[in-house]
């Protein structure tokens, strides 16, 4: 099930990349699964939570850097 969700998210990200087309926006990279899924009980029954990381790549001519703060 996790791979199906990851493929679905990657398909959605691909559509977002195609339609954004703006060179000044960060570029979405393929999603990466983080440790499978979590199951929890709720009032509506059983819930599944998938954790996916979507890395961002800087637009051409730009870079990302960390800013240290308080």
pLDDT at 46: 64
pLDDT tier at 53, thresholds 50, 70, 90: confident
**Partners of residue 40 on adjacent β-strands:** 47
Q: Are 22 and 62 in contact (CB under 8 A)?
A: no
pLDDT digits (tens, 9 = 90+) for 6-49: 888 888 888 887 777 666 778 888 888 876 555 555 556 666 77
* The pair of three-digit structure tokens given for residue 18, joined into one six-digit string: 């195609």
Residue 44 to residues 25, 37, 40, 41, 47, Cα–Cα distance (Å): 38, 18, 11, 8, 8
Torsion on CA atoms 28, 34, 40, 46, rounded to nearest 10: 60
Q: Give the separation between CA 53 and CA 30, rounded to whole angstroms.
A: 9
């Amino acid at each position: 099930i996790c791979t199906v969700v990851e493929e679905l998210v990657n398909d959605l990200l691909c559509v977002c990349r195609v339609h954004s087309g703006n060179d000044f926006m960060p570029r979405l990279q393929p999603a990466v699964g983080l440790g499978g899924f979590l199951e929890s009980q709720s009032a509506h029954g059983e819930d599944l939570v998938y954790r996916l990381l979507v890395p961002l790549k800087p637009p051409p001519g730009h870079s990302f850097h960390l800013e240290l703060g308080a």
